Structures are given as C-alpha cells and as structure tokens.
A and B are shown apart, each in its own frame.
Chain A
Amino acid sequence: MDAILEARGLTKRFHGLVAVNGVSFQLRRGEILGLIGPNGAGKTTLVNMVSGTLAPTAGDLLFEGRSVRGVPAYRRAHLGIGRTFQVMKPFPGMSVLENVAVGALFGANGGERNLERARAWARACLESVGLGKRIAQRADALGGPDRKRLELARALAMKPRLLLLDEVMAGLNHVEIEEVIEDIRRVRAQGISILVIEHVMKAIKSLSDRVFVLHHGEKIVEGGTAEVLSDPRVVEAYLGRQRR
C-alpha cells in the first residue's frame, strides 16, 4: 500500500499535558482520510505537527516515504503539504488575489517565480472555489463563508500533493456545505490526497474513504467510514461531549 503520509507514534506534550499521544496512521495516495473527534481531542495539534508549525515531542512523520522530522514549515510546503487553518489566517491587509498569489508564488517546489503566471494561477484557483468576482477586495472585507473559500483557494494555489483541511465547513449553511463538498471532490479528482478534519458528519460520510477518531489525544478507532461512525466507542466519545 502506497502511503503519502505516515505518522509513527506522534506525541505532543505541553507542560505535562498530553495533547496527542502516540498516534500512528497512514494516509494512502489519492485517498480522502477523515479525522474526527470531540473538541479538544488534539486534531488541530496533529495537523500542526504535520504542517510543521509544531514540533512533536516524540514520534516520527514520513511524507512520501521520507522523514520530515525537523523540517521547517516552509520546506514542507515546498515538498507539497498544504493546509487550511480552523482559525483562519488570511493576510488581512492584502487583496483576495494577493492572498492566493502568495500560495502560488511560494508553494510546492518553491512556487512559481513569474509574478504574472502566479497571478493567473491564483485567479484560476479563486474561480474554482467561486470567489472569482471578489479578487480585488481586501481579505478582511470578506464574510465568513467566503473566508473559508479563500482558505481553500490559498491552499490549492500551492499545488499541494497532500492537503490538510482543518474544519473548512464550520459555520457554513447546507447549500454552502454542498458546494465545498463538490470543491473537495474536484480537488481529489486532480490526484491530491486529503486529510479532512470535520465536525459536519454529512461531509465526512460523503467524502471520506476511511476515518480515524481521536479522543483525549489518542486514536481510538480507525477503519471504513460507515463502520467507524457506528462504532460504540465513537458514539460514546461524542455523546460524552454532548452531555457536558
């Protein structure tokens, strides 16, 4: 089985508090892997370790068969790892087009050096997520759903081989969720492997080939989407959260 991303016992401790504990998983080339779990389960911490903004306390991470331990975030972007942020991090003072152009200029393999070509590619990415009409606006003038689309376009502009989507659907309505699901399908059709973190179960069900579940920083279940979602431990983890 050809894994594009493999985690081996990834662990992150913050001052004695264990956020992620010995998590191992494989993401196969071309697949969409769902990652679910209650709030505070360590999902974003895990994504941060994959994208390189957090260094793991222990464990190893392999991208396309090579360890990326100690490789800084920008080099991982050059290798082909793109991500979105749950708490969105656009460049507020830049235009929408410039926001995405940064991804095109600096992304995979160091990005496109030619400014005009980078801008053209950025425009194409924005059109593919339905933001084609907003390219001249300032990023901080966008509303919530458009910001989510901008996050996606920025990551796509990097021409990643692996895309980490951290709750791109939170706060969207049903119609918008359907649109984003379609966007993600199109991305996968281009051969990009995807890790989807999502609370919107409909999206997980319709997108993921496989799912794994984090709870209190540990992987509790992994497998096919339908069987995982009906697993009693998963139900308990989520119900436990709701009861609180």
Chain B
Amino acid sequence: MRAGNPARSAARWIALAAVVALLAALPWCGNAVLVQFGISALLLATLAQGWNIIGGYAGYPSFGNSVFYGLGAYGVAIAMAQYQLPFWVGMLLALGLGVAFAGLLGLAVLRLRGHYFAICTLGLALVMTAIVSNLPLAGGNIGLVLPLLGNAALFYELALGLLVLATLTVFWLARSRFGLGLIAIRENEEGAAVMGVNTTLYKVLAFMLSAAFTALAGGIYAYYITYIDPAGVFDLALNVKMIIMAVFGGPGSVLGPVLGAFILSVISEILATKVTSVASMFFGIVIVVAVVFMPRGISHLVAHVRQAGWRYFVDNVRAHRL
C-alpha cells in the first residue's frame, strides 16, 4: 500500500527484469552442473513462494504443501507414463489434482487454527506416502518411469517461468483486495470476519492458489527427473525446506521467499560439497538461529538492520524471550 517514489520503483523494476534476463541466459554458459543446480534452486524458490501465499499471507502454516507437490509430480507421471499423453496435458492434470485436492482439504482443515492446522497437515503429509504406495495407477511403491527428454535447459527455463509467474501473482496479491483480506485473516481472523471478509472462502482460495504453483513445480520436477516414487515426491523434508526458505527470506513479503530460497540453496550446495556432515543439519541450524535472531526474515532484516545495527538482533531476542 506504500506509494513509492515512481523513479525509484521504475529503477527497481528494471533491475528485477535484468536479473530475470540474466537468469534466463544462464543455460547458455554451458555449465551443466550449474544448470542442474539452477533447476533445483528455481523449483525450491517456487515452492517457497507458493507456501508464502498460505503461510506468509494468510498466516496458516501448512505442513501439507509437499502433498500438492507430490500430486503434481504424479499428475504428470500418470499422464505420460500410463497414458502416453503429452507433457502439457500432464501439467493440466497436475494443476487440476493439486488445486482440487487443496480445495477439498482446505474446506476440512482450514477451520483449524494454529497448532491444530499445522499438525493436521503434517499428519496428512505423513500418510500420503502410504496411500499412494497402495495405488496401482501410481505404480505402487515401485513408482513410475517417464520418457527421457534430456533437455536440461528447457526445464530450467520452465522452472524460471513458473517462478516469475508465482512471484508476479504474489506481487499482485500484496496489492489487491483479495490479498488485503488474507492479511487481515492472518492478523486477526475474528476481526476480519466481522468486517466482512468471507474468511472460509478466502482461506480456501489461498490454499488452492498455493497448491497450483506447488503442483506445477512438482510436474516439472517429475518430467525432469524421469523417475518418481511415493517416498521421493511426498517428502516431508521438502515441505520443511520450503517453510524454512520462506521464513528465512521473510514470510508475507513479495521477494523474501525467493531470496531466502536462493541464499539457502547456495549455502547448502557449498556445504554439501565441502563439509558433508554439517550439510544435512544445515537447515535445522538455520531455523533455530533465524527464529531466535531474525524471526521476520531477510527482507525485514535488510530494511531495518541499517538503522538498528547489532541491536536489531538483540531487540528480537528481547521481544520474545521469557
């Protein structure tokens, strides 16, 4: 809602467009490892941005987004491996599965608040592996093999396109009536309802929007990786990653989750090659440190640390400690 200086906001748009153009040019530098890393970082950023809609804006900390990712991956895999349909039909199926499931699930569990919502979605994420393992259509616990395309650059550009789309959506959201309604729900749900916000509808819509990007990311991943099994794509650890990236970057901000995903992807990649034993613990350490010292994420830190200096971290601890 801030009316920024138009010249500065134009400069910011140009800078962002330049960053996107640079990112889009990356596959032509010829480094296959870099492209591979890029695909994973872009998909994670999309997941973090998708989580941001339900977790950051509406304030419902979903541990069930990995379910939408898995559904998206299986949507593409079933279409392509079981019915020999083209990829784009698979993506439509992925989108449909993810969004429909989010709608149904949302109606049931978005009535729960706080811990209850978080753990209910967590429980669901835990059982999805078991449920899908028992479906013959999904290949049971053996999984499905997709046709090999072998064009990493294409997947890279697809992932980048999806991330840009997700980020533009969140940009619109932050400035729209719908987005303001979601923030009102996050800040005080009862207050939002008596002021006329249809809280149930808004929460379910936010969940579905969140699921849409998450499922599409899963679909791209399935075709890219060419083999999926239930344990691999209904992975709770992935949900943990998206939450950490969004929270580390700044939940409820437009660019924070993307920034968080990029920064953490780079650090964890470096750790994985240099000090493997710490790498797996890395995300745990990041959460603990981030929640204690910078609970509002990088984007808030960048905006305020210049004024406050080191006191920024001390003040965060002071505000929440016993």
Measured CB to CB, the residues of A under 8 A from B are 51-53, 72-78, 82-83, 85, 89-95, 97-98, 101-103, 105-108, 110-111, 113, 115, 118-119, 154, 158
Contact A73–B1 (Cβ < 8 Å): no
Contact B188–A89 (Cβ < 8 Å): yes
CA distance A76 to B198 in the complex (A): 11
From A72, A97, A105, A119, contact of B193 by CB (8 A):
A72
Given A89-B188, A94-B184, A94-B187; A74-B177 close (CB under 8 Å): no
What is the CB-to-nearest-CB distance from A81 to chain B, in angstroms, rounded to a whole number?
A: 8
B175, B183, B188, B199: most-surrounded residue (chain A CB, <10 A) = B188
**What residues on B are CB-neighbors of A101 within 8 Å?**
1, 180
CA distance A51 to B1 in the complex (A): 29
Contact A89–B191 (Cβ < 8 Å): yes
Q: List 24 A-B contacts (CB under 8 A).
A: A51-B194, A53-B194, A75-B198, A77-B193, A77-B194, A77-B195, A77-B196, A83-B194, A85-B191, A89-B188, A90-B188, A90-B191, A91-B184, A91-B187, A92-B187, A92-B188, A93-B187, A98-B180, A98-B183, A101-B1, A102-B180, A102-B181, A103-B196, A154-B195
Given A53-B190, A90-B188, A102-B184; A107-B177 close (CB under 8 Å): no
CA distance A108 to B195 in the complex (A): 9
CA distance A83 to B195 in the complex (A): 8
From B175, B177, B188, B191, contact of A105 by CB (8 A):
B177
Chain A binding surface, main DSSP class:
helix
Residue B26 lies at the interface, judged by CB distance under 8 Å to chain A: no
**What residues on A are CB-neighbors of B177 within 8 Å?**
105-106, 111, 113, 115, 118
From A90, A97, A98, A110, contact of B196 by CB (8 A):
A110
Residue of A with least CB distance to B187: A91
CA distance A72 to B190 in the complex (A): 11
Known: A78-B196, A91-B191, A98-B1. 18 other contacts (CB 8 A): A53-B194, A72-B193, A74-B193, A74-B197, A76-B194, A77-B195, A82-B194, A90-B187, A91-B183, A91-B184, A91-B192, A92-B187, A92-B188, A94-B184, A97-B1, A106-B181, A106-B196, A110-B196
From A92, A106, A113, A119, contact of B195 by CB (8 A):
A106
What is the CB-to-nearest-CB distance from A149 to chain B, in angstroms, rounded to a whole number?
A: 16
- Binary per-residue interface labels of chain B (190-232) against chain A in the complex, 1 for a CB within 8 Å, 0 otherwise: 1111111111000000000000000000000000000000000
Residue of B with least CB distance to A118: B177
**What residues on B are CB-neighbors of A115 within 8 Å?**
175-177
CA distance A103 to B188 in the complex (A): 13
